[in-house]
Amino acid sequence: MKFIPLSKPYITDEIKKISKVLKSGWLTSGPKTEEFENKFARYVNAKHALAVATCTDALHISLASLNIKPGDEIITTPMTFIATSHIIEWLKARPVFVDIQEDTFNINPDKLFDAMTFKTKAIIPVHMAGHPCDMKEITKFSKANNLSVIEDAAHAPGAEYKDKKIGSLSYATCFSFYATKNMTTGEGGMITTNEDIKDKLQKLSYFGIDKEAYKRYDKKGKWYYEVDSLGYKCNMDSIHAAIGIEQLKKLDSFNKRRRKIAELYTEELEDTGIITPIEKPYVKSSWHLYIIRLPKSINRAKFIDNMAKNNVGCSVHFLPIHLHPYYRKKYGFKKGDFPVAEKVYENMVSLPIYPLMSNGDVEYVIKTIKRCLK
Ligand SMILES: *Cc1c(COP(=O)(O)O)cnc(C)c1O
């Protein structure tokens, strides 16, 4: 009996493309990176894209590009991966959490106003599980209050909000190509934007130097550079970019398969006492995760354990950020601060979902769930 993991990458022609880059003699950022950026920008219909080493870096330098000062406040959701709030900490700013909507697990726009102070500079909404946030409300609020929006779209490449691809709606949108995400480069990330900030972001991604390395070392380029601002080091190399170009070609078919798997799950699990995930009529989810909520009578830890014993890998996304000891200690957060996120966390379980999953695999997972509920 094979194990059905939570997620698995789908790799085919990538191997040939990597070896081509390796033989080319140019390994770091270069024309391949630019090709990936251009193709990704076109895909999400954004003016610019900058490929970086991880989505965490994408979020970090997008926020840094706003000249965030120590003590500035950044609004985000507690229902996310630790990266979203750690990058706020890295810049010595303060994460201010706003509770989520129970049906989408996304930040609740109705609660933004109460979280705002004169120190608030930006909002980082997270498209949880690939279901886009209520961007109309978030955009309206940010415009009215002169705040920048940086979307954490780690789960949402290919997702749509009102027929528009996520990636063209805000100051900056950050994507992840981590091994488990909808498309992968192993590790990797991308920032897309319609603002003229690509040069600024590129500088931030490379020590504050304003020319890409490959142009500097090219015979046409200059050997001289100077640095007038602090930058980081998170450029994407050609090897990762070559993988990304191939994965992007398959992204729509990956997401189509994810949607099909989600439909199969929902059809079979609706009448079991489990709460199945929803999709609002004005969005198209990228179905990065399929998150169910268990009936009250079921012990989650035991359930996940039982599933694993039956060769099905499940997980939990996520322990709300404010309950991590680092944030509890630093800001005095406690249980009860964000009751909706906490309530959802208590019984949420992520089921396997990835394009390589066969219908037979899905049926097996469903059968196993039904058995483990008894
Ligand atoms: C995976 C993830 C990230 C970080 O992405 P990396 O590419 O691993 O840095 C950020 N936010 C969310 C919500 C994620 O799930």
Active-site annotation, residues: 181
What are the pLDDT digits (tens) for 96-108?
Answer: 999 999 999 999 9
Angle at 105 between CA 103 and CA 110, to 5 degrees: 80
Say how far apart CA 311 and CA 145 lie, in whole Å: 50
Tell me what pLDDT residue 222 has. 65
CB 130 within 8 A of CB 288: yes
Ligand 1 first shell, C-beta below 6 A? 54-56, 80-81, 83-84, 126, 152, 154-155, 176, 178, 189
How close is the Cα of 152 to the center of ligand 1, in Å?
Answer: 8
* Position 290 pLDDT exceeds 80: yes
Name the pairing type of β-strands 94-97 and 120-124.
unpaired
Name the pairing type of β-strands 189-193 and 172-176.
antiparallel
If 0-12 CB within 10 Å is exposed, 13-18 middle and 19+ buried, where does residue 348 land?
Answer: buried
Which three-class secondary structure state does DSSP give residue 24?
helix
Relative to the CA of 57, which ligand 1 atom is closest?
Answer: 9
How close is the Cα of 216 to the center of ligand 1, in Å?
Answer: 31
Q: For residue 231, count other CB atoms closer than 10 A to its CB.
A: 20
Q: Please, which pLDDT band fits residue 33 given cuts at 50, 70 and 90?
A: very high
User: Among residues 363, 361, 274, 341, which one has the least CA distance to residue 128?
Assistant: 341
What are the pLDDT digits (tens) for 198-229?
Answer: 999 999 999 999 765 445 556 656 677 888 89
What are the pLDDT digits (tens) for 353-366?
Answer: 999 999 999 999 99
Which token pair is 336? 């009860």
How close is the Cα of 324 to the center of ligand 1, in Å?
Answer: 17
Say how far apart CA 3 and CA 48 lie, in whole Å: 41
Q: b/e for 43-69, b at 16 or more Cβ within 10 A?
A: bbebebbbbbbbbbbbbbbbbbbbebe
Query: Does the reported pTM lie above 0.95?
Result: yes
CB 172 within 8 A of CB 292: no
Q: Whose CA is nearest to atom 1 of ligand 1?
A: 154
Residue 234 carries which side chain, given as an amino acid letter?
Answer: C
Which of 63, 77, 81 to mutate to test ligand 1, by most ligand atoms within 8 A of the CB atom? Answer: 81
